[in-house]
Amino acid sequence: MKAITAKVEPVPKKPASRFWPKFLEQKYLYMMSVPFVLWAFVFNYLPLWGWTMAFQKYKPGKSFFEQKWVGLKYFKELFQDEQFFNALRNTLAMSIMGLLAGFIIPIIFAVLLNELRLMFLKRFVQTVSYLPHFVSWVVAAGIITKMLSTDNGAVNDLLMSLHLISEPIQFMAKGNMFWGIVTASDVWKETGWNTIIYLAAISGIGPELYEAARVDGASRLQQVRNITLPGIRTTIVILLIISIGHLISIGFEKQFLLGNNLVRDYSQTLDLYALNYGLGMGRFSFGTAINIFNSVVSVILLFVANGIFKKITKESII
Amino acid sequence: MLNNKLATASWSDRIFDLVVYVAITVVTIATLYPFLNVLAISFNDSTDSIKGGITVFPRVFTFKNYETIFAYSGLMTGLKISVLRTVIGTILGLVSASMLAFTLSRVDFQARKLVSTFLALTMYVSGGLIPFYILIKNLHMMGTFGVYVLPGLVSAFNVFVIRSFIDGLPYALQESAKLDGANDFTIYWRVILPLTKPALATIALFLAVGQWNAWFDTYLYNGSKDGLTTLQFELMKVIQSTTTNADNFRGRNMTEVMAQISPESVKMAITIVVTVPILVIYPFLQRYFVKGMTLGSVKS
């Protein structure tokens, strides 16, 4: 965003008569951009117009002018609904857990990978670790459910053979485990992929630093602590801030696919709540109110994160 | 003194190395094993699988699971629709992204700033699920193939990735083509597109993987349309029906379930069918995605 706005320099004002000849001259440029701009308007901006539904008693099939306006009725209903606070709690819990795990573990993994001395092994591990990123959440959820199943699931088999448990745990049926399962699934799927940026940052650290440290007799662990980690500090801070900006927009995909009725009190995020209680029951106005709440909060978070980001990057430039 | 220091250092280094190798091994196994396990079960006799104990090799090898799932017509339709949406969605997405990127890279383009800001904003505004659903409904796109490829046609992110690549090309190329009398479309088609191939390849893979892996649009708009369901959706249906009932299958209807091929085996076989295309293009994915990822991160 920053790079985009920074790049556009102000167009000097020209007399109006110059516009049309230039317009004709650039007709192909217009033909190649305007249709897509209109397209983006329809599918990206028009839904915002749909926000009016939250302030109406929306009935499908009626025109906009025939709808009855009800003011903040649906927002009041929303803030009195226990389910809403439950969904908000679940969203926040899973996004914070996901933020922490998805932030710390890739850093550790990147540092570990960087310490592998055998290049072919490093490449092999990288190749394997990217794989889950490319499969869909449907496939991932299927695999994870199988691994956690009570019927010969790998996790239960392993725990049983280590005598850590005496009978299989019904992972997918335990509400209090759901947040952890979602977080762990995310870690399983995305850790390898998320290391790419850190590995790129680590490869930017000058080898002479490690050389000097070795001459001074620093151990490998000391090198990690005093060279590698400080070397990628800026990357770490930037990525942390970006992920704070996306905190609440965790969506519903994982929760939809991994969840079931038994764990609903823990799996229902705001988006799923809108899906189940808005769309599923035909309460479009109520569901739109949920969507508005979600969008507004995420935009606020994005702006806050962006503000912090600007402040910090400015400081680091000066 | 110095010798002593070096000796302890190498000692701790050895422990350090051990920790690194153990941790890396555990992570690698944890990532790879589930895939191998699913693969093994999908090729194992379904009655035998229920006994458990299958790890990375099938015990009683069979193609029966695959024969059974391919005999189910929904899977073939799903395969056809998934391939179609991937091919068409990727082509349309490439055309829109490359054209927009080209016009945005032209510093002399009058509407450049306007279009650029307009697109950038789409990355931050979102109406949410229900307004979007109502829009699709009002456009009469429910129950059509178009709903897979049309709504997401313009992606600002893809446009900006390609534009940053075009910006890296010498501008003189465009100017000299212009002097030779080429119009803007010819410049795009003959000069820019051939040079932009690496960026296009990256974006094509982004689009293709996204299309192939999409399932929610089918669920939302075309779930009851038999001829329009995708492979991911078919897999989702199987998984959803077995996760919630997984425990009911134990004991209660065991004989009934065991009489046919078990839902577990069906699930594993479909999972493999859905994953294989990703594996086939995986070498390309790795090459271009990693590049695209670093390119995108540097830019933003």
Chain A residues in contact with B98 by the CB 8 A cut-off are none
On the question of pLDDT at A7 being above 90, the answer is: no
Q: What is the pLDDT of residue B8?
A: 56
Chain segment B278-291, per-residue pLDDT in tens: 989 888 887 776 66
Q: What is the pLDDT of residue A39?
A: 95
Nearest CA in chain A to B110: A23
Closest of A212, A218, A225, A209 to residue A108, by C-alpha: A225
| pLDDT range class, residue B277, cuts 50, 70, 90 | very high
Using CB atoms, pick whichever of B12, B38, B294 lies closest to residue A221: B12
Closest of A244, A247, A239 to residue A294, by C-alpha: A247
| pLDDT range class, residue A317, cuts 50, 70, 90 | very low
Mean residue pLDDT of chain A comes to: 88
A231 with A202: CB under 8 angstroms? yes
| pLDDT range class, residue B252, cuts 50, 70, 90 | very low
| pLDDT range class, residue B239, cuts 50, 70, 90 | confident
Chain segment A19-54, per-residue pLDDT in tens: 888 888 899 999 999 999 999 999 999 999 999 999
- Please tell me which residue, B155 or B71, carries the higher pLDDT value: B155
B159 with B104: CB under 8 angstroms? yes
Q: What is the pLDDT of residue B253?
A: 35
Q: What is the pLDDT of residue B246?
A: 41
Chain segment A290-299, per-residue pLDDT in tens: 999 988 888 8
Lowest mean pLDDT among A220-224, A255-259, B252-256: B252-256
Closest of A204, A200, A232 to residue A126, by C-alpha: A200
Best of B21, B129, B164, B275 to substitute, by most chain A Cβ atoms within 10 angstroms, is B129
Mean residue pLDDT of chain B comes to: 85
Q: How far apart are CA A149 and CA A22, in angstroms?
A: 66
Q: What is the pLDDT of residue B150?
A: 95
Q: What is the pLDDT of residue A185?
A: 96
The nearest CA of chain B is from the CA of A56 a distance in Å of 13
The 3-state secondary structure of chain A, one letter per residue: CHHHHHHCCCCCCCCHHHHHHHHHHCHHHHHHHHHHHHHHHHHHHHHHHHHHHHHEECCCCCCHHHCEECCCHHHHHHHHCHHHHHHHHHHHHHHHHHHHHHHHHHHHHHHHHHCCCCHHHHHHHHHHHHHHHHCCHHHHHHHHHHHHCCCCCHHHHHHHHCCCCCCCCCHHHCHHHHHHHHHHHHHHHHHHHHHHHHHHHHHCCCHHHHHHHHHCCCCHHHHHHHHHHHHCHHHHHHHHHHHHHCCCCCCCHHHHHHCCHHHHHHHCCHHHHHHHHHHCCCCHHHHHHHHHHHHHHHHHHHHHHHHHHHHHHHHHHC
Q: Does A142 touch chain B (CB under 8 A)?
A: yes
Chain segment B181-223, per-residue pLDDT in tens: 899 999 999 999 999 998 899 899 989 999 999 999 999 999 8
How many other C-beta atoms can be found within 10 angstroms of the C-beta atom of residue B250? Answer: 12
The mean pLDDT value for B141-152 works out to 95
Lowest mean pLDDT among A21-25, A189-193, A239-243, B180-184: A239-243
The nearest CA of chain B is from the CA of A138 a distance in Å of 6
Retrieve residue A197's tokens.
């940026």
Helix (H, G, I), strand (E, B) or coil at B125: coil
Q: Does A280 touch chain B (CB under 8 A)?
A: no
The nearest CA of chain A is from the CA of B229 a distance in Å of 14
On the question of pLDDT at B105 being above 70, the answer is: yes
B100 with B119: CB under 8 angstroms? yes
Q: State the residue for tokens 């991994």.
A: A258
On the 0-12 / 13-18 / 19+ scale of CB atoms within 10 A, B58 is: middle
The nearest CA of chain B is from the CA of A77 a distance in Å of 17
Q: What pTM value is reported for the model? A: 0.86
What length does chain A have? 318
Chain A residues in contact with B158 by the CB 8 A cut-off are none
Query: Residue A276: CB partners within 8 Å, gap ≥ 6?
Result: A268
The mean pLDDT value for A282-310 works out to 88
The mean pLDDT value for A77-105 works out to 93
Closest of B88, B56, B135, B253 to residue A45, by C-alpha: B135
Chain B residues in contact with A218 by the CB 8 A cut-off are 9
> Do B16 and A221 make contact, defined as CB atoms within 8 angstroms?
yes
Q: How far apart are CA A144 and CA A253, in angstroms?
A: 14
Using CB atoms, pick whichever of B8, B21, B128 lies closest to residue A294: B128
> Do B184 and A188 make contact, defined as CB atoms within 8 angstroms?
no
On the question of pLDDT at B29 being above 60, the answer is: yes
DSSP B85-123: HHHHHHHHHHHHHHHHHHHHH-TT-TTHHHHHHHHHHHT
The nearest CA of chain A is from the CA of B289 a distance in Å of 10
The mean pLDDT value for A134-153 works out to 92
Using CB atoms, pick whichever of B99, B135, B232 lies closest to residue A50: B135
The mean pLDDT value for B223-235 works out to 89
Q: What is the pLDDT of residue A62?
A: 84
Closest of B5, B143, B92, B129 to residue A36, by C-alpha: B92
Retrieve residue A32's tokens.
């190649």
Residues 227-266 of A with CB under 8 A from B: 253, 256-258, 260-262
Chain B residues in contact with A19 by the CB 8 A cut-off are 110
Q: Does A212 touch chain B (CB under 8 A)?
A: no
| pLDDT range class, residue A12, cuts 50, 70, 90 | low
Q: What is the widest separation between alpha-carbon atoms in chain B? A: 82
| pLDDT range class, residue A250, cuts 50, 70, 90 | confident
Query: Residue A224: CB partners within 8 Å, gap ≥ 6?
Result: A111, A115
Backbone angles phi, psi at A69, to 5 degrees: -80, 135
Helix (H, G, I), strand (E, B) or coil at B166: helix
Q: What is the pLDDT of residue B259?
A: 39
